[in-house]
Every structure is written in C-alpha cells, then in structure tokens.
Structure 1
Amino acid sequence: MSLLRRPAWWAVLLTLAGTLLFLRLGVWQLDRANEKEQILRRYAAAETAPLRDFAAVATAPADDGFPRVRLRGTYLADRLYLLDNPRHDQRGGVEVYAPFRPEGMTQWVLVDLGFLPGNGTDKAPQIPALPEGPQDVHGLYQPAPGVGFEMGGDALSRQTAWPKTTIYLDIPQVARDLGQPLYPRVVSLDADPAAIYVREHQPDFSSMPPARHRAYAFQWFTFAVAAVVIFLILHRKRKKPKSDSP
C-alpha cells in the first residue's frame, strides 16, 4: 500500500526542476573549487621550475602551465602602462607594465614589473627609472589580468601623456597603442628583495577560496535534499481519524 498521495503534475515538475537546479549549482561550486586549486598548484610548481628559453614558449605557451622564462632585451622606458585597481587595491597603487624588446625576435612582450604601493593620494606613485641598455630578465610567462567590461571604449588611445593608466589590460589593445605586435602573455618578474616593487604571482582568491566554494556546494546540495523531503511530507497520506461507534 502506497504511503503517498497521488501528486499533481505541477508539484512533481516544480520539485524536479528545483532539485536539479540545486544539484547543478552544487556541482558548479565544486568545479570552481577544483579549478582554483589546480591554478594554485600550477603556480606553486612554476615558482620552483627551472628557467626556460623564452623563444621556446613565446608564441604558443601551454594552456595549463606558467613557464618560468629567461630573455635578454631592452626596455622601452618611456612607454609604461599602469594598471589601476589591481588585486592590491585595498592598499592603493598600480601594477606597472613595461614593453620589452627581446633580442633576435620580431615581437615585443609586456613585462610586469610588479605592484607599486600608493602614496596616500589619488595620484599615481613615482615610478623608478628603468635600467638602460640590454637587460637579462626572468619570471613567469603568464596570461595578462582578465579584461573586464570595457566602458567607454579604448581609453589608451585617448591618452597622450605617458605613463598611460588603464583599469584593465588588453594585450591586443596595448599592441595597437604601441603600433607593434605583442606576444600573447606577459612576463611577471621574479621576486627581488632589492626591488621597490611587490611581486606576487599567484592570483588572490582570499575573497572566495576553494573552501568557500565547497561550503556553498554543501548548501546547494542541502537545498536539493530539502526540496525532496518537503515534497514527501506534503504528499504523505494522513491517517483517517477513527470514528466513535455508537
């Protein structure tokens, strides 16, 4: 004998849709947690990896890796780009990028010099002079910071004074501004205790670490279980009250 009343079709459909949605959101949160952990592991492995020749990975770097590279070339010290509102925004300041012309190569590459803390005002901090002449540099060859919603179009083309400031770093846009093709990634210089710049390669997941994604996944899975339990409770058969016989 069934313990449940025959449910209405819309109740079944609503419960099924809600349960599947909650399960999908839970799985998505688990996927995000795993994705971030993999990224952190790749960065951790890259920090201690041996240096590779830049020419070997410049054009087609592996999608799932961040090689440490070495290259020799010359900075274009009068063509700097300042990334405003980077991940260090709570301290104020800018991430400083310099075009770099590698020796024996036809394209240039942007070099991430690091984060320069603010000076307590709304003005850009004073940027130290770059060394002149050929330089040997080494660091992680990694994707540029993500491009957000471009409000107002190409802001670089409207600026006439250097350094130029931007709230996102779009490699093709910078290449158009320089009038010179650029390699698809940036070289983030290795940490140097003697440098004024702060150099932190790993992405900042402090606001949403993998553990928090897993907590949200547990929450969504709990909602899925709750939807099924509520459906069963609402459709269980109730015992008929006993009638008193005369």
Structure 2
Amino acid sequence: MKWLRRPSWFALLLTVAGALLFIRLGVWQLHRADEKEQILRRYATAETAAASDFAAVAANPPVDAFARVNVQGEYLADRLYLLDNPRHDQRGGVEVYAPFRPRNGDRLLLVDLGFLPGNGTDQAPQLPPLPTGAQDLHGLYVPAPGVGFEMGGNALARQTRWPKTTVYLDLPQVATDLGGALYPQVLTLDADPSSIYVREHTIDFSAMPPARHRAYAFQWFTFAVAALVILLVLHRRRPSRPGKP
C-alpha cells in the first residue's frame, strides 16, 4: 500500500492492544445485557407460576430462578422497617418490610408488604396496622435489594423505636436488630387490589437496563474502530509537493 507508511512496532502494538481491549469491553457489555434480559424473563415467568411450599426453598433458594411460594405463620407486631429509597413515585414514599415467623420455621422471614406512596413531605406515610393471628401469604421469594455504599454505619442500631427507617436494606443488620436469624431472601407479596400498598414488584435495573448495556457496547466497538482509523490517518503518506522528488 503506497499510500501508507509502515507504522512502528510500538504504534502497531498499542493500536492492536487498545482495539482488542475495546472489543473485549463491548462483548462484556453485550453479555451483561443478555444476562439481565434472562433475569427479567425468569422473573416474569415466576409471577404466573404455581406456588410451592416455602419450606422447600427457604434455606436454599434456587440460583437460576425465582420461586413463587406460599407460607403460613404470624407477623411480629410493631417491628416494621421502612426502606426510604425506592423510585415508585416523585412524591417520596417508602417500601415497607415486616418480620414474619413461618409455622415450623427455624428463623424469621422478612416480608415486603409493598410501597406506600408519600404525600410530598418529609414525614413518613401513615402505616396501617399489621394483621394479627395466623396468616397465609403468597408471593415471590427473591433476593433483598442491593446494599450499595452505605455511609454513616448501621442506622438501625441508632433508632430505638419502630418503624425504623433505612436507605439500604441489609439483612444481617436487620437480623441483629431483631435479635434472631433471618432467611436469606425476602418474600414480596402478590398484588392485592384491597391493599393500601402498591405491589408492582420487578427487578430494578433502572440504573443500568439491558438497552444501556448495548449502548455502551456500541461505544466500545466504536472506540476500537476509531483506534484503527487513527493509526491509518497518522501513517498516511502525504502527497509530494510539485518540484520535489
């Protein structure tokens, strides 16, 4: 190719290494998009599946599926936890969790009662009392919301009255606060038209949905192409000026 000067080994290796890195990152983003879409499909399938007995999956929930279960037991009265960072509406509000003692269970189950919309103020919404006596609950047995980076330490330990408020739901902290062991996942209750709680549960990928992963993949692939183009442009032979050999 007469129009192209031979690049140095350093420039060639740098370009190839950079292009391969960008391609690798793009492929990884595509894999993440596929993984999240598979999770969303499994979640949608679980919502319409027949309920199984909670005891069958309580201690060892399936790693490749979401279990829909039914469980009998009683709520612990006056031990509510308010998750203060859900994104259900712009007026604020809280996701409400209650400890539940399954019949014949060896530990407590944290139940996601649903989202309680706010009123546009900093005050927590008015909480309805928990039902008393034996209860028969139905819902999905799913991992607790992610913890993320928690500043300020354990907020539950500094509160002396229930309901207690937190911006992260950390199951070990809740277990310590209750003074007893918890099952490794939480129960999100099925929707109930008669309930004051909003129960529109889904896997929260709002910060990084599959479509955004694919957009980032496109960017990385574009960077790989750009690296090759830059190499070619920088080593393109300039046309000879008239009168010069």
Q: TM-score when scaled to structure 2?
A: 0.93
Corresponding residue number in structure 1 for 2:130: 130
Per-residue CA deviation, residues 189-246 of structure 1 (Å, 9 max, x unaligned), is 001111111112212334543223212211221221121022122213345456489x
Q: Percent identity?
A: 73
Corresponding residue number in structure 2 for 1:183: 183
Corresponding residue number in structure 1 for 2:60: 60
Aligned-partner residue type, residue 117 of structure 1: P
Matched, 1:30 2:23: no
In the alignment, structure 1 segments of 5+ residues that lack a partner are: none
Corresponding residue number in structure 2 for 1:194: 194
Distance verdict in 2 for CA 1:12–1:122, change over 3 Å: same
Corresponding residue number in structure 1 for 2:71: 71
Corresponding residue number in structure 2 for 1:120: 120
Aligned-partner residue type, residue 48 of structure 1: T
CA distance in 1: counterparts of 2:190 and 2:12, whole angstroms: 58
CA distance in 2: counterparts of 1:231 and 1:179, whole angstroms: 63
Indicate if the aligned counterparts of 1:81 and 1:98 stay in contact, CA closer than 8 A.
yes
Distance verdict in 2 for CA 1:244–1:13, change over 3 Å: closer
Per-residue CA deviation, residues 88-122 of structure 1 (Å, 9 max, x unaligned), is 26331000000000011111100000000012210
Corresponding residue number in structure 2 for 1:84: 84
Distance verdict in 2 for CA 1:57–1:243, change over 3 Å: same
CA distance in 2: counterparts of 1:146 and 1:207, whole angstroms: 12
- Counterpart secondary structure, 1:90: coil
Indicate if the aligned counterparts of 1:5 and 1:237 stay in contact, CA closer than 8 A.
yes
In the alignment, structure 2 segments of 5+ residues that lack a partner are: none
Indicate if the aligned counterparts of 1:43 and 1:201 stay in contact, CA closer than 8 A.
no
Indicate if the aligned counterparts of 1:69 and 1:138 stay in contact, CA closer than 8 A.
yes
Q: How does 1:11-26 map to 2 (within 5 A)?
A: 11-26=11-26
Matched, 1:172 2:172: yes
Indicate if the aligned counterparts of 1:87 and 1:204 stay in contact, CA closer than 8 A.
no
Indicate if the aligned counterparts of 1:47 and 1:68 stay in contact, CA closer than 8 A.
yes
Matched, 1:159 2:181: no
Matched, 1:110 2:102: no
Aligned-partner residue type, residue 126 of structure 1: Q
